[in-house]
Amino acid sequence: MLYNALIRTHHITSRKKVSALKRAADIHNCFVLLRSGGCPGIMYVEAKEKDSVELWVNVVRNLRYKDFHLATRPGLLQDETRVENRGQKESPQSTTKKARTGVSEVDTVKEFGCLMEERGVWKWWRKGMGYVS
């Protein structure tokens, strides 16, 4: 089982703060995806334990990002691809993609959305971002 959370901020530009986020991801064994470089700043975190996600979110909160908003609280990941492909076995590629830890950065919201779709949480992400009700 995996847990995830979504955070929105005004922007993510400080390399010093991004370095702190990377350290926290390594310490708490989390996969983190950042949309950095401009507005809006988006952070997605995923881990095998809910406590790891919550601890990483607390690190972000303590960095005092402008307009910090916990868009989706830490909770159990609902894999949308599994629901759509009932009865089909999950591909080994998607399993390894979800297993890795560390921080990845993207420059655009579009690219972030594509990665959310690949991870099987696109609808969840769109709802958390306020794009759909």
Least confident residue range of 19-28, 87-96, 103-112: 87-96
Beta bridge partners of 5: 45
Q: How far apart are CA 104 and CA 30, in angstroms?
A: 11
Looking at the predicted structure, is the pLDDT value of residue 122 above 70? Answer: yes
Other CB atoms within a 10 A radius of the CB of residue 53 amount to 23
Higher pLDDT, 126 or 95: 126
**What is the CATH number for 110?**
3.30.70.100
Q: In this structure, are residues 86 and 79 in contact, taking their beta carbons and an 8 Å threshold?
A: no
Q: Which two tokens stand for residue 77?
A: 């990941």
User: Where in the sequence is the domain holding 37, given as residue range(s)?
Assistant: 3-129
- Residue among 101, 105, 122 nearest 113 (CA): 122
Total domains in the fold of the chain: 1
